[in-house]
């Protein structure tokens, strides 16, 4: 039984720079969660750690549209806003409340850019608004699809629409001229990482009209592990995960365990090759394999402001033979970034955290060189 709790929030749009991983990798950092909690209850969901009833008690921000209008009106320049960074905006609650639709009307009225990440075919209800936003380069829809196998999706995301319905979403949105990105996330060892399965998925989403593919591998927190361990036991995969994540993996700047770099690179390279084969641009999500990218990681080509990331500086280092901290600071200054942003950037760079785990570079103090 799902409980809806209606509340009037004080704020809606916020920065998501709470961890070095977002700060380093994401060129757009604004999000607006209209619902807090998500009924889809995916087994690998990182947000479950926020509270035990995250998937059964949904906080509904009933004043989200008016907050969006107030906050967007005050911004001098707007980054694309993620409408649901920790929840699916088109979860079943939206069928009842229609707050995402009302919020999209605000973005259209104010010519502000946004993007949506969803597993739900309810997004098709708002095709009329999305079409108008797309004409102005103000919206992109990311469809999350970890596998074409109904057995896999039923095991890990059983309350979500099945893969074939999500393919239909990609097709219908694309036919309406709405740009669609497919997020192959999370890629999980022994579950959906076989070359043949990745190839089949990329071919299918390309045929449906997707323009860009984002790949991200599973990241494990204590909460995620407690939710998936029993499933992995039944599948006979626990030992594989212990080796890839706990023996040969590492911990990222957000505190998640990430898998062995060789495995992560291999699945991302397979996906990149298939994307190229079928005419999709490609990016990875917080993986660091920038030489595989053929577009901005998220695939966004919307109007709005984007900020430099570790990928920006990685590319400068490889094109010039090095990048100095002074060069990086000059670029931040040109982008008009705040003093707080620069202070965090300096702290991460000088501590070595900014470049930690990024392949094909080495850092010596204030200088970073390709290798």
Full DSSP string of 222-238: HHHHHHHHHHHHHHT-H
- Provide, rounded to the nearest whole percent, the portion of the chain with pLDDT above 70: 100
Q: Could you tell me the pTM of the whole model?
A: 0.95
Alpha-carbon distances of 89 from 40, 94, 97, 100, 164, rounded to whole Å: 11, 7, 11, 7, 20
Angle at 40 between CA 36 and CA 45, to 5 degrees: 75
Give the confidence band of 139 by pLDDT, cuts at 50, 70, 90: very high
Domains of the chain, by residue range, sit at: 3-306, 307-371
Give the confidence band of 50 by pLDDT, cuts at 50, 70, 90: confident
The answer, yes or no, to whether residue 18 has pLDDT greater than 80, is no
Give the confidence band of 51 by pLDDT, cuts at 50, 70, 90: confident
Contact 217, 264 (CB under 8 A): yes
d(CA 230, CA 87): 24
Neighbour count for residue 144 (Cβ, 10 Å)? 22
d(CA 45, CA 88): 11
pLDDT value for 279: 98
pLDDT value for 158: 94
Residue whose tokens read 């860009």:
212
d(CA 325, CA 368): 8
Count of residues for the chain? 371
Tens digit of pLDDT for each residue in 169-192?
A: 999 999 999 999 999 999 999 999
Contact 40, 54 (CB under 8 A): no
- CATH fold of the domain at 3-306: TIM Barrel (3.20.20)
The answer, yes or no, to whether residue 350 has pLDDT greater than 80, is yes
What's the rounded mean pLDDT across residues 207-234? Answer: 97
Q: Which of 316, 318, 322, 314 is nearest to 369 (CA)?
A: 322
Residue whose tokens read 């994401």:
26
The answer, yes or no, to whether residue 283 has pLDDT greater than 80, is yes
pLDDT value for 370: 97
The distance from CA 42 to its chain's CA centroid, rounded to whole angstroms, is 15
d(CA 67, CA 65): 5
Residue 51, helix vs strand vs coil: coil
Structure tokens at 103: 């919020």
d(CA 112, CA 261): 38
The answer, yes or no, to whether residue 17 has pLDDT greater than 80, is no
Give the confidence band of 85 by pLDDT, cuts at 50, 70, 90: confident
Contact 285, 82 (CB under 8 A): no
- Provide, rounded to the nearest whole percent, the portion of the chain with pLDDT above 90: 94
């Amino acid at each position: 039984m799902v409980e809806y709790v209606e509340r009037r929030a004080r704020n809606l749009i916020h920065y998501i720079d709470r961890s070095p991983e977002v700060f380093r990798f994401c060129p757009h950092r604004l999000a607006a969660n209209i619902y807090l909690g998500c009924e889809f209850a995916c087994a690998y969901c990182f947000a479950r750690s926020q509270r035990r009833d995250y998937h059964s008690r949904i906080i509904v921000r009933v004043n989200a549209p008016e907050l969006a209008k107030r906050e967007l009106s005050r911004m001098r320049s707007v980054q694309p806003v993620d409408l649901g960074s920790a929840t699916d905006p088109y979860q079943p609650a939206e069928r009842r409340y229609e707050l995402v639709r009302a919020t999209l009307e605000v973005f259209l009225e104010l010519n502000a850019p946004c993007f949506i990440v969803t597993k739900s075919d309810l997004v098709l209800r708002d095709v009329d608004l999305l079409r108008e936003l797309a004409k102005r380069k103000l919206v992109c829809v990311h469809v999350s699809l970890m596998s074409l196998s109904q057995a896999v999706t039923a095991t890990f995301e059983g309350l979500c629409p099945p893969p074939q319905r999500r393919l239909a979403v990609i097709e219908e949105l694309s036919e309406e001229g709405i740009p669609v990105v497919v997020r192959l996330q999370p890629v999980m060892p022994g579950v959906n990482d076989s070359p043949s399965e990745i190839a089949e998925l990329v071919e299918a989403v390309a045929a449906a009209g997707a323009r860009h593919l984002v790949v991200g591998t599973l990241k494990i927190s204590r909460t995620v592990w407690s939710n998936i361990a029993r499933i992995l036991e039944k599948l006979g995969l626990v030992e594989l995960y212990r080796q890839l994540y706990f023996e040969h993996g590492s911990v990222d700047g957000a505190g998640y365990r990430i898998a062995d770099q060789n495995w992560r690179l291999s699945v991302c390279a397979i996906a990149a090759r298939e994307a190229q084969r079928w005419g999709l641009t490609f990016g990875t999500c917080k993986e660091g394999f920038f030489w595989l990218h053929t577009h901005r990681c998220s695939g966004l080509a919307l109007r709005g402001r984007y900020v430099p990331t570790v990928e920006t500086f990685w590319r400068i280092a490889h094109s010039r033979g090095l990048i100095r901290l002074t060069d990086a600071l000059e670029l931040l200054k040109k982008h008009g970034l705040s003093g707080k942003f620069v202070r965090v950037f300096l702290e991460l760079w000088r501590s070595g955290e900014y470049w930690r785990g990024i392949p094909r570079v080495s850092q010596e103090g204030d200088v970073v060189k390709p290798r």
